[in-house]
Amino acid sequence: MPEFEHLWSPIKLTLELATLTTILLLCVGTPIAWWLARSRAPWKEAVAAVVALPLVLPPTVLGFYLLLLLGPNGPGGSIGSLFGLRSLAFTFEGLVIGSVIYSMPFVVQPIRNAFEAFGDRPLEVAATLRASDWDAFWSVALPLARPGFLTGAVLGFAHTVGEFGVVLMIGGNIPGETKVLSVAIYDYVETLQWTQAHVLAGGMLVFSFAVILSVMLFEKRLGRVGK
Protein backbone atom coordinates (compact mmCIF):
# COMPACT_ATOMS: atom_id res chain seq x y z
CA MET A 1 0.00 0.00 0.00
CA PRO A 2 2.23 2.79 -1.27
CA GLU A 3 -0.12 5.57 -0.16
CA PHE A 4 0.56 4.66 3.49
CA GLU A 5 4.23 5.49 3.05
CA HIS A 6 3.21 9.15 3.27
CA LEU A 7 1.68 8.56 6.68
CA TRP A 8 4.99 7.94 8.37
CA SER A 9 6.49 11.35 7.61
CA PRO A 10 3.99 13.44 9.64
CA ILE A 11 4.08 10.92 12.52
CA LYS A 12 7.87 11.05 12.68
CA LEU A 13 7.86 14.84 12.43
CA THR A 14 5.26 15.15 15.16
CA LEU A 15 7.15 12.86 17.52
CA GLU A 16 10.36 14.78 16.87
CA LEU A 17 8.67 18.10 17.47
CA ALA A 18 6.91 16.97 20.64
CA THR A 19 10.00 15.29 22.10
CA LEU A 20 12.25 18.26 21.41
CA THR A 21 9.64 20.68 22.72
CA THR A 22 9.13 18.67 25.92
CA ILE A 23 12.86 18.47 26.62
CA LEU A 24 13.26 22.21 26.03
CA LEU A 25 10.22 22.96 28.17
CA LEU A 26 11.56 20.93 31.11
CA CYS A 27 14.82 22.84 30.87
CA VAL A 28 13.20 26.28 30.54
CA GLY A 29 10.06 25.64 32.55
CA THR A 30 11.70 24.24 35.70
CA PRO A 31 13.55 27.43 36.68
CA ILE A 32 10.44 29.48 35.87
CA ALA A 33 8.24 27.17 37.97
CA TRP A 34 10.79 27.26 40.81
CA TRP A 35 10.89 31.02 40.75
CA LEU A 36 7.09 31.29 40.63
CA ALA A 37 6.79 28.87 43.56
CA ARG A 38 9.41 30.43 45.81
CA SER A 39 9.79 34.09 44.92
CA ARG A 40 8.13 36.71 47.11
CA ALA A 41 8.29 39.35 44.37
CA PRO A 42 4.97 41.21 44.18
CA TRP A 43 4.89 41.06 40.40
CA LYS A 44 5.42 37.34 40.13
CA GLU A 45 1.73 36.73 39.44
CA ALA A 46 2.05 39.03 36.43
CA VAL A 47 4.80 36.76 35.13
CA ALA A 48 2.60 33.76 35.91
CA ALA A 49 -0.20 35.34 33.88
CA VAL A 50 2.09 35.84 30.88
CA VAL A 51 3.14 32.19 31.07
CA ALA A 52 -0.51 31.16 31.27
CA LEU A 53 -1.64 33.33 28.34
CA PRO A 54 -1.57 30.52 25.74
CA LEU A 55 -4.29 28.80 27.79
CA VAL A 56 -6.83 31.46 26.93
CA LEU A 57 -5.52 33.03 23.71
CA PRO A 58 -7.00 31.68 20.47
CA PRO A 59 -4.15 29.78 18.80
CA THR A 60 -4.52 31.93 15.73
CA VAL A 61 -3.86 35.08 17.76
CA LEU A 62 -0.76 33.53 19.27
CA GLY A 63 0.24 32.24 15.85
CA PHE A 64 -0.21 35.69 14.31
CA TYR A 65 2.13 37.35 16.77
CA LEU A 66 4.60 34.49 16.51
CA LEU A 67 4.54 34.92 12.74
CA LEU A 68 5.49 38.59 13.12
CA LEU A 69 8.16 37.65 15.64
CA LEU A 70 9.69 34.86 13.61
CA GLY A 71 9.22 36.41 10.18
CA PRO A 72 11.97 38.03 8.09
CA ASN A 73 11.31 41.47 9.62
CA GLY A 74 11.12 40.26 13.24
CA PRO A 75 13.83 39.16 15.65
CA GLY A 76 13.34 35.59 14.45
CA GLY A 77 14.41 36.72 10.97
CA SER A 78 17.66 38.21 12.30
CA ILE A 79 18.38 35.09 14.33
CA GLY A 80 17.51 32.93 11.34
CA SER A 81 19.90 34.90 9.13
CA LEU A 82 22.75 33.80 11.39
CA PHE A 83 22.03 30.24 10.28
CA GLY A 84 21.56 31.21 6.68
CA LEU A 85 17.76 31.25 6.86
CA ARG A 86 15.68 34.14 5.63
CA SER A 87 13.14 33.64 8.37
CA LEU A 88 12.21 31.22 11.16
CA ALA A 89 8.60 31.15 10.06
CA PHE A 90 7.65 28.05 8.04
CA THR A 91 10.62 26.11 9.37
CA PHE A 92 10.90 23.24 11.83
CA GLU A 93 12.97 25.46 14.16
CA GLY A 94 10.24 28.09 14.17
CA LEU A 95 7.71 25.41 14.96
CA VAL A 96 9.76 24.31 17.96
CA ILE A 97 9.93 27.88 19.29
CA GLY A 98 6.20 28.33 18.80
CA SER A 99 5.41 25.00 20.49
CA VAL A 100 7.57 25.82 23.48
CA ILE A 101 5.64 29.03 24.07
CA TYR A 102 2.28 27.45 23.28
CA SER A 103 2.72 24.47 25.62
CA MET A 104 4.57 26.34 28.37
CA PRO A 105 1.65 26.65 30.84
CA PHE A 106 0.94 22.92 30.65
CA VAL A 107 4.45 22.18 31.88
CA VAL A 108 5.08 25.10 34.24
CA GLN A 109 1.82 24.89 36.18
CA PRO A 110 2.05 21.26 37.40
CA ILE A 111 5.72 21.69 38.30
CA ARG A 112 5.00 24.93 40.16
CA ASN A 113 2.16 23.24 42.04
CA ALA A 114 4.44 20.37 43.00
CA PHE A 115 7.13 22.77 44.25
CA GLU A 116 4.54 24.68 46.26
CA ALA A 117 2.90 21.55 47.66
CA PHE A 118 5.81 20.49 49.86
CA GLY A 119 6.40 23.97 51.26
CA ASP A 120 9.58 25.30 52.88
CA ARG A 121 10.05 22.57 55.44
CA PRO A 122 11.90 19.88 53.42
CA LEU A 123 14.31 22.53 52.14
CA GLU A 124 14.87 23.85 55.66
CA VAL A 125 15.52 20.32 56.85
CA ALA A 126 18.00 19.81 54.02
CA ALA A 127 19.80 23.04 54.97
CA THR A 128 20.10 21.94 58.60
CA LEU A 129 21.62 18.71 57.26
CA ARG A 130 24.40 20.63 55.53
CA ALA A 131 22.93 20.67 52.02
CA SER A 132 23.53 23.87 50.04
CA ASP A 133 20.60 25.40 48.12
CA TRP A 134 21.76 23.81 44.87
CA ASP A 135 22.29 20.44 46.56
CA ALA A 136 18.88 20.60 48.23
CA PHE A 137 17.25 21.42 44.90
CA TRP A 138 18.63 18.28 43.27
CA SER A 139 18.44 15.91 46.21
CA VAL A 140 15.14 17.00 47.77
CA ALA A 141 13.06 19.39 45.65
CA LEU A 142 13.31 17.53 42.33
CA PRO A 143 12.56 14.06 43.72
CA LEU A 144 9.66 15.38 45.78
CA ALA A 145 8.25 17.18 42.75
CA ARG A 146 8.56 14.11 40.51
CA PRO A 147 4.81 13.62 40.03
CA GLY A 148 4.56 17.26 38.90
CA PHE A 149 7.36 16.75 36.39
CA LEU A 150 5.71 13.63 35.05
CA THR A 151 2.36 15.34 34.64
CA GLY A 152 4.00 18.41 33.11
CA ALA A 153 6.04 16.39 30.64
CA VAL A 154 3.08 14.32 29.51
CA LEU A 155 0.76 17.28 29.19
CA GLY A 156 3.41 19.28 27.34
CA PHE A 157 4.10 16.39 24.97
CA ALA A 158 0.44 15.64 24.33
CA HIS A 159 -0.47 19.27 23.89
CA THR A 160 2.32 19.71 21.33
CA VAL A 161 1.20 16.61 19.47
CA GLY A 162 -2.32 18.01 19.25
CA GLU A 163 -1.45 21.57 18.30
CA PHE A 164 -3.05 22.80 15.10
CA GLY A 165 -3.85 26.49 14.92
CA VAL A 166 -0.41 27.75 15.75
CA VAL A 167 1.19 25.29 13.35
CA LEU A 168 -1.01 26.44 10.49
CA MET A 169 -0.16 30.08 11.20
CA ILE A 170 3.61 29.78 11.58
CA GLY A 171 4.45 26.46 10.02
CA GLY A 172 2.18 26.04 7.11
CA ASN A 173 1.98 22.65 5.50
CA ILE A 174 5.42 21.72 4.20
CA PRO A 175 5.85 17.92 4.05
CA GLY A 176 8.80 16.70 6.13
CA GLU A 177 9.39 20.17 7.56
CA THR A 178 6.20 21.46 9.16
CA LYS A 179 3.44 19.07 8.13
CA VAL A 180 2.64 17.50 11.49
CA LEU A 181 -0.02 14.94 12.33
CA SER A 182 -2.92 17.23 13.06
CA VAL A 183 -2.36 19.14 9.85
CA ALA A 184 -1.99 15.91 7.92
CA ILE A 185 -5.31 14.61 9.22
CA TYR A 186 -6.96 17.87 8.26
CA ASP A 187 -5.44 17.55 4.80
CA TYR A 188 -6.64 13.98 4.30
CA VAL A 189 -10.14 14.91 5.34
CA GLU A 190 -10.13 17.92 3.04
CA THR A 191 -9.12 15.69 0.15
CA LEU A 192 -11.57 12.95 1.20
CA GLN A 193 -8.84 10.39 1.89
CA TRP A 194 -10.81 8.81 4.71
CA THR A 195 -8.70 5.69 5.11
CA GLN A 196 -5.53 7.63 5.81
CA ALA A 197 -7.41 9.98 8.14
CA HIS A 198 -8.80 6.94 9.95
CA VAL A 199 -5.39 5.39 10.45
CA LEU A 200 -3.87 8.59 11.81
CA ALA A 201 -6.83 9.58 13.99
CA GLY A 202 -7.27 6.05 15.34
CA GLY A 203 -3.57 5.85 16.06
CA MET A 204 -3.75 9.13 17.96
CA LEU A 205 -6.69 7.85 19.97
CA VAL A 206 -4.89 4.68 21.03
CA PHE A 207 -1.68 6.58 21.70
CA SER A 208 -3.41 9.21 23.85
CA PHE A 209 -5.26 6.59 25.85
CA ALA A 210 -2.07 4.62 26.46
CA VAL A 211 -0.19 7.72 27.59
CA ILE A 212 -2.85 8.86 30.03
CA LEU A 213 -3.39 5.38 31.44
CA SER A 214 0.29 4.75 32.01
CA VAL A 215 0.72 8.14 33.68
CA MET A 216 -2.17 7.46 36.01
CA LEU A 217 -0.84 4.02 36.93
CA PHE A 218 2.64 5.41 37.44
CA GLU A 219 1.39 8.23 39.67
CA LYS A 220 -0.59 5.78 41.72
CA ARG A 221 2.51 3.69 42.27
CA LEU A 222 4.53 6.78 43.21
CA GLY A 223 1.81 7.78 45.64
CA ARG A 224 1.98 4.39 47.34
CA VAL A 225 5.76 4.60 47.76
CA GLY A 226 5.50 8.09 49.21
CA LYS A 227 2.90 7.20 51.80
Partner 1 sequence: MKADRAAIEAKFYGPLGDFHIDVAFTAPGYGVTGLFGPSGCGKTTVLRCIAGLNRLSGKLRVDGELWQDDASGTFLKTYQRRIGYVFQEASLFQHLSVRENLLYGSKRAKEDGPAPISFDDVVAMLGIGHLLGRAPGALSGGERQRVAIGRALLSRPRVLLMDEPLAALDRMTKEEILPYLEALRENLSIPIFYVSHDMSEVERLADTLVLLDKGRVAALGPLSELQSDPALPLLRMPEAAVMLEARISAIDENYALTSLDIAGGTLVVPGRRGKLGKRCRIRISASDVAFVRGPVPETSVLNYLPVRIVSITPPNGDDPQLNLVAALGEDGTGARIVGRITRKSRDVLMLEPGSQVYAQIKSVALLS
Of 128, 190, 206, 220, which lies in the binding site for partner 1, with binding defined by CB under 8 A? 128
Q: How far apart are CA 93 and CA 84, in angstroms?
A: 13
Name 217's Cβ contacts closer than 8 Å, sequence gap at least 6. Answer: none
By CB under 8 A, is residue 132 in contact with partner 1?
yes
Contact stretch for partner 1 (CB under 8 A) within 92-100, 120-128, 151-159, 164-172: 120-128
CB 9 within 8 A of CB 179: yes
Q: How far is the CB of 113 from partner 1 (least distance, A)?
A: 16
By CB under 8 A, is residue 220 in contact with partner 1?
no
**Interface positions, 134-173, toward partner 1 (CB under 8 A):** 135-136, 139-140, 143-144, 146
- What 3-state DSSP class applies to 166? helix
By CB under 8 A, is residue 40 in contact with partner 1?
no
Of 84, 121, 190, 206, which lies in the binding site for partner 1, with binding defined by CB under 8 A? 121
Per-residue interface string for the shown chain with partner 1, residues 64-103, x marking contact by CB under 8 A: ----------------------------------------
By CB under 8 A, is residue 114 in contact with partner 1?
no
CB 167 within 8 A of CB 180: yes
By CB under 8 A, is residue 226 in contact with partner 1?
yes
- Using alpha carbons, list the distances in angstroms from residue 110 to 150, 182, 201: 9, 25, 28
Full DSSP string of 180-223: -HHHHHHHHHHTT-HHHHHHHHHHHHHHHHHHHHHHHHHHHHHH
Q: What are the residues binding partner 1 (CB under 8 A)?
A: 121-122, 124-133, 135-136, 139-140, 143-144, 146, 225-227
